[in-house]
Structure formats: structure tokens, C-alpha cells
Amino acid sequence: MRRHAATFVAAALLLTSIAGPVAAGGGSTAGGGTGVSGGSARDPADPTGRWIVLYKNGTDAAAATQTRSVRVGFRADRTFTHGIRGFSAALSTAQVSELRHDPVVSAVVPDERIQVEGQIYPTGISRKPA
């Protein structure tokens, strides 16, 4: 369970780092598209209806994504091949269900905007465990 949480956090941080260029209209997608799926005019950085699909270790992400995009019927916006293996795409409920039952898929999680905050300890506060 801890490993899945770490994978989800890594995926979320990776997507956060690429969301800036997508929102600014820069960069290209793995599929050569604009980041907007299905001809929708919505903001491509808006995660509503978007999912991150992660593959099990040892899976060729590019080949697996291509195969599944044809079989399941979606268009991947990004394919992740370093650090994590998987893709992001706008998926329907039926597509999410089918991918969750795929033996090569380890997780299907909603793409969410996250905000990272820090806490600063004032001078004189010890952070060492008691």
C-alpha cells in the first residue's frame, strides 16, 4: 500500500511539473495532439474527467499505451516512460473500468490538481525526535 501511495505522489508531482507548459499552450503531447481530448474547448490543464494509468514494472509504456488506445478507444495526452510507466488521458467510466481489469495495469487514479505547501519552524524549535 505504501508503494502505491509513493507511486501516486510521484505521478502527481510529474504531472504538476508539466501542467505549466500545457496551460501556457506550449509543449506537445505524446500523441501529437494539443492536450485537449475529443475536440473539447475546455482548459487542457483542467483535470476533470482525466485519469492517470500506471503500468506494472517491466512494462514497455509506449507499446502498451499504443495497444490499449486502439483496443479501448482513447487518445493518450502524455506517455510516461521514465521514473513511472503509464499515461494520462481523458477516459469514460467504461474505459476506466476496462483498464482497471487489465492485468498489466497497476493503478488507475484520477488526475487531480495538487498544491504543495511547506511549514517553516521558527528559530529555537527543535525538529529532532524526542
Ordered structural domains, the chain, with CATH:
2-28+45-110 (3.30.70.80)
Would you call 48 exposed, middle or buried from its count of C-beta atoms within 10 A (0-12, 13-18, 19+)?
A: exposed
Is 90 exceeded by the pLDDT of residue 8? no
CA distance 72 to 74: 6
pLDDT given at position 49: 85
Query: Residues 61-77: pLDDT tens digits?
Result: 999 999 999 999 999 99
pLDDT greater at residue 50 or residue 18 = 50
Instruction: Give which of 75, 79, 32 is closest to 60, Cα–Cα.
Output: 79
Q: Which three cell numbers stand for residue 54?
A: 500506471
Amino acid at 112: E
* Confidence (pTM): 0.56
pLDDT greater at residue 103 or residue 11 = 103
CA distance 26 to 17: 13
Is 50 exceeded by the pLDDT of residue 118? yes
